[in-house]
Chains A and B, each alone.
Chain A
């Protein structure tokens, strides 16, 4: 199986679609309904903020979007492919080739240099050593850390670590970048910089971004907003970003 055959390069519909997605954890009396009935599409080039308080279903949405979890009911289509029909390994390949993750806790490998962290997704993609180095350096340059390639995570500030994490997520040119509370561990000035970086990647490189956040100021960078409450989308709005 050619790894890339999972989703066709020529597909030109929405990047992802939720079709009446429900997610229930546990069963019987203990069952928790995390998502009730959620439908939305995200088109290429969009910058979407998923908002809601904790328990609203936004993390579940994120896990399903990231192909880390599958819906209990309804369909989740990634580039037209129903993710539920894929095996665990096929979902891993889908993440490898089409998805980038940015987490609240940065999640860089400790005691590993920025460059090696960036190389990690490229190694799994089996990109040759020379290309790997070049792509990683380009990504570091894009996030403004071209002189920090040999620093380990511990030697970088929180803002710098998150930049490395963003570089790692975009180094493979993914179809969708998922950012889960990327500014949650950063101060206001650093948060602002990170959001500007994401907005820039979206507007200049056309990177499709889904941002999960509960902060109004961060959501303001996105051009579309989905507000969740109790497992449903309660409000949707579009704006031209600042």
Chain B
């Protein structure tokens, strides 16, 4: 029987192409909105993952003392360079370890100046951050040991200060000190929650301690695990060594902490989830409105088709066959609207993705869900009109003008 009902419904939809298209418009728009939102949402998430891997997904940061969200006093003593050497010496899960001392400083070249991030570290920096050189060279071992006044600059510093001047071999002033530019880092780009990565000047840690910070501290230590899967093991290894080197009173906070890049982005991830949920709710409302649109037009169409229903009943259609036909019509219309909406939504997402600078990622399961849901909307909202059609009295229906 269902095959016949499908045939009858299909003929009915074909009989009224324009009305069918208008009926289903609400669903088309609703589904298209859902698909755009979900696809772009997935793109944004993937984008964040990419940002994380730009920072280095295997990277861990070791801080002295506990890092609290709101500036609790840091009573723990700072790291020294020996801590870096100890980590290099005693770990097996780490591919590289680099000291990191960071300050914002005024950097000056010629008439130009800007406040840039000045980083004191050593050669391992490029390995930890997975960051290559675009030109020049790294610090030599001798330069690191003596704290020679040499520096490697980021792309932003180069374009903003040196402009078209040759930069290699030129002298850059950092605060009251100065250094010779020996290298240029590759562009790293914006990272969503860390600002411009390329606005940076890298100097040997010893030079940083003596000429900029005026101490022998190492603010943080960056370490990199050998592999994505070893991050946790590497963290445990670092913790064992640091616990030994910086014993704390029993019951008190430990005098160091280790954090992954992953954790830093958790907050951002959850905010995108909230945003996606919010937009999805709006899309769901538009689907609901689309469903009501279908119900509205189906109700009108029952009145308009009263005579046709009378003919069908006179010919021998049973109540449930009339009911089923109207239900199937509504479901087919809504399902078809869902398909069109999916296509339009994908087109829209494909067009918007480059504008929002996020990758276009197909969401097949969401597409299937949107389709099933729209057909379901058709059944739910088609039920009332279908029932009123099925309950018509054939005599009255045949007399209807």
Residues of A within 8 A of B (CB): 63, 66, 68-69, 88-89, 92-97, 99, 101, 103, 107-112, 116, 120-121, 123-126, 168
Contacts of B11 in A (CB 8 A): 112, 116
Contact across chains for B319 and A120 when beta carbons are under 8 A apart: no
Listed by A's residue number, 10 A-B pairs whose Cβ atoms lie within 8 Å are A89-B319, A92-B318, A95-B315, A97-B316, A101-B314, A120-B315, A124-B312, A124-B316, A124-B317, A125-B316
Contact across chains for B16 and A111 when beta carbons are under 8 A apart: yes
Q: Across the two chains, which residue of chain B brings its CB closest to A88?
A: B319
A206 to B1, CA, bound (A): 31
Contact across chains for B307 and A107 when beta carbons are under 8 A apart: yes
Contact across chains for A93 and B318 when beta carbons are under 8 A apart: yes
Q: Any chain A CB within 8 A of the CB of B180?
A: no
Render B1-32 as a binary contact track against A, CB cut-off 8 A, 1 for contact. 10010011001000110000000000000000
**8 Å CB contacts to A: which residues of B301-330?**
307-308, 310-321
- Which one, B1, B316, B394, B398, contacts A121 given CB within 8 A? B316
Contact across chains for A120 and B314 when beta carbons are under 8 A apart: no
Looking at A88, A93, A108, A168, the one whose CB has the most chain B CB atoms below 10 A away is A88
Q: Across the two chains, which residue of chain A brings its CB closest to B391?
A: A88
Q: Across the two chains, which residue of chain A brings its CB closest to B15?
A: A111
Pairs A-B, 7 closest by C-beta atoms: A96-B316, A95-B316, A92-B318, A111-B15, A121-B315, A89-B318, A101-B314
- Which one, B4, B319, B395, B398, contacts A107 given CB within 8 A? B398
Given contacts A68-B398, A92-B319, A124-B4, 9 further A-B contacts (CB under 8 A): A89-B320, A93-B318, A95-B313, A107-B311, A107-B314, A111-B16, A112-B11, A123-B4, A125-B316
A109 to B317, CA, bound (A): 14
Contact across chains for A126 and B4 when beta carbons are under 8 A apart: yes
A209 to B117, CA, bound (A): 101
Contacts of A94 in B (CB 8 A): 316
A95 to B316, CA, bound (A): 5
Contact (A68, B394) CB under 8 Å given A93-B316, A126-B4: yes
A31 to B7, CA, bound (A): 44
Q: Across the two chains, which residue of chain A brings its CB closest to B7?
A: A123
Contact across chains for A68 and B314 when beta carbons are under 8 A apart: yes
Contact across chains for A109 and B315 when beta carbons are under 8 A apart: no
A48 to B314, CA, bound (A): 21
Report A166 CB to chain B, min CB distance, Å: 14
Q: Across the two chains, which residue of chain A brings its CB closest to B314?
A: A101
Contact across chains for A95 and B314 when beta carbons are under 8 A apart: yes
**8 Å CB contacts to A: which residues of B184-238?**
none
**8 Å CB contacts to A: which residues of B131-188?**
none
Report B387 CB to chain A, min CB distance, Å: 14
Q: Across the two chains, which residue of chain B brings its CB closest to A121?
A: B315
Q: Across the two chains, which residue of chain A brings its CB closest to B316?
A: A96
Contact (A109, B395) CB under 8 Å given A92-B317, A124-B4: no
A94 to B315, CA, bound (A): 10
A123 to B312, CA, bound (A): 11
A93 to B320, CA, bound (A): 12
Contact across chains for A69 and B316 when beta carbons are under 8 A apart: no
Contact across chains for A63 and B395 when beta carbons are under 8 A apart: yes
Report A30 CB to chain B, min CB distance, Å: 18
A101 to B311, CA, bound (A): 9
Contacts of A99 in B (CB 8 A): 316
Report B324 CB to chain A, min CB distance, Å: 12
Report B264 CB to chain A, min CB distance, Å: 64
A168 to B311, CA, bound (A): 11
A149 to B316, CA, bound (A): 22
Contact (A101, B315) CB under 8 Å given A107-B398, A116-B11, A123-B8: yes
Contact across chains for A126 and B308 when beta carbons are under 8 A apart: no
Contacts of A123 in B (CB 8 A): 4, 7-8
A202 to B7, CA, bound (A): 33
Contact across chains for B318 and A69 when beta carbons are under 8 A apart: no
- Which one, A88, A92, A112, A116, contacts B316 given CB within 8 A? A92
A116 to B8, CA, bound (A): 10
Looking at A99, A109, A112, the one whose CB has the most chain B CB atoms below 10 A away is A109
Contacts of A103 in B (CB 8 A): 398
Report B393 CB to chain A, min CB distance, Å: 8
A47 to B132, CA, bound (A): 101
A109 to B15, CA, bound (A): 10
Contacts of B317 in A (CB 8 A): 92, 96, 124
Report A80 CB to chain B, min CB distance, Å: 20
Contacts of B4 in A (CB 8 A): 123-124, 126
